[in-house]
Amino acid sequence: MAKKQTTKSVSASKKSSARKGLAPVVNVALLGFGTVGSSVATVLAASKFPGIQLTHIFNRDVERKRTSAAAKRVPAAVVWTEDINVILKSNVDVVIELMGGLNPIEGWLRKAIVSGKSVVTANKQLIAYRGATLAKLAAKHDVHLVHGAAVAGGVPVIPGMLQGLGGDQVTRLSGIVNGTCNYILSRMETGADYATVLADAQQLGYAEADPSADVDGYDARAKLCILSRIAMHAELDPDAVATQSISTVEAVDFSYAKELNCTIRQVSRAQLEGTTVHARVAPMLVPMASPIAWSHGTQNMVVVSGRFGGDVVFSGHGAGGEPTAVAVVSDLLAVAQGCKSVQLPVRKRKVTGEFLAPHYLRFVVDDKPGIVSAIAGALAKVGANIDSILQRPGYPKHRLPFVVTTEPCLTSVIEKALHSLAKMDCMLERPLCLQMLQIEDKPE
């Protein structure tokens, strides 16, 4: 009953404003005043959108935020609080959540939705794991749940898919959705080593002190699941999506990739086949002719392949406070104006990390006669064929890196061979295995 009374009072206020010839006012609360949250406040203050009024800001240790340089752009009338109940019990119409994580955020947003408040969020973990259930809750209470900034920040991938590609049958998507990894790998492409570039990324604020969410693929995995639900109407369990860390990629791999007319990027990839989605987040060899290879620094890029429309490419700077704030404010404006997204049925799908693809295998060995023959034998035993062998000069025989590429074969086949190869006495490191993308693939 309380929810209905609140909704009616807000609705009545808006109707009253309309009768007086005034634009209805949409009251907005901001949860989180970090990099993105402060940028959202800056955009709202600079743009002065008619009918949009920032009324509340929530943050832990709120006084520290309230006295920051960014806070000077916030209107004096805004209520600052570290008590979430102040927000939940207020007459706010839209809650913008920019804190991240699942707990306690999910519980707070559920309460906001039940009380009749729409939600705008950039929280990819929340949407990946709880997006479907939260969307149902929002529909039940006739409010909006919008998350266009959850993937690729300022690049309008999600609204583009919802509004521009809803009429197609998307069969495949692939791309770069983690700016941190793209920064690291594109720097390594110029000859830098992983540890140095990671330290630079941390100093610049691109990577966290614990970079595992980015470099091990968990951030990109959540985003891939969101995109799969929107583009292919497939709900995936994020924990079932295969990931591979970029931390095992070394400078020598870029030298060999160049010989193969490729580079290396962290690629998020999903392909629908029947009722199964093949999905993987991993560093992969990308042909230089592919748009994915052209993305450098913190840029994001997503290639969406449709049955009727073919390939559509989204590209731009996904990371950073201001680009992400643009996406958040755009979502806010859509909610304020009552815009509705295309809603199509979403079904739970089985996930597998299995792909049929050529593979790049880099070995570091104590060189001795018969190694290549032994590797070829181990691959042949599982049904994998060698396509090429590359060995760059200038490396010592006692620690020699060289590369074998295979003809297209299943992921599980290569993994079985690697299990055997890793046990060879000559191996000084576990062999590195990377998938190789093929740009000639066409959607069915």
DSSP 8-state class, residue 55: E
- Contact status, residue 161 vs residue 227, Cβ threshold 8 Å: yes
Which residues is 432 bridged to in the sheet? 362
Q: Cα–Cα distance between 289 and 326 in angstroms, integer?
A: 31
- Contact status, residue 173 vs residue 233, Cβ threshold 8 Å: no
- Contact status, residue 149 vs residue 324, Cβ threshold 8 Å: yes
CA separation (Å) from 271 to 206, 213, 346, 384? 29, 23, 16, 23
409 closest CA partner among 382, 372, 374, 442 = 382
184 closest CA partner among 262, 238, 254 = 254
CB atoms within 10 A of CB 163: 14
H helix or E strand, kind and range, residue 275:
none
CB atoms within 10 A of CB 64: 11
**Span between the terminal Cα atoms of the chain, in Å:** 51
Exactly one of 65, 117, 124, 223 is catalytic; name it.
223
- Contact status, residue 121 vs residue 127, Cβ threshold 8 Å: yes
- Contact status, residue 284 vs residue 210, Cβ threshold 8 Å: no
Q: Which SS3 state, helix, strand or coil, does residue 159 take?
A: helix
Active site residue 223: yes
Contacts 24+ apart (CB under 8 A), 261-265: 261/287, 261/288, 261/289, 262/286, 262/287, 262/288, 262/293, 262/436, 263/185, 263/189, 263/288, 263/293, 264/185, 264/188, 264/189, 264/434, 265/176, 265/181, 265/182, 265/185, 265/186, 265/292, 265/293, 265/295
Enzyme catalytic residues: 223
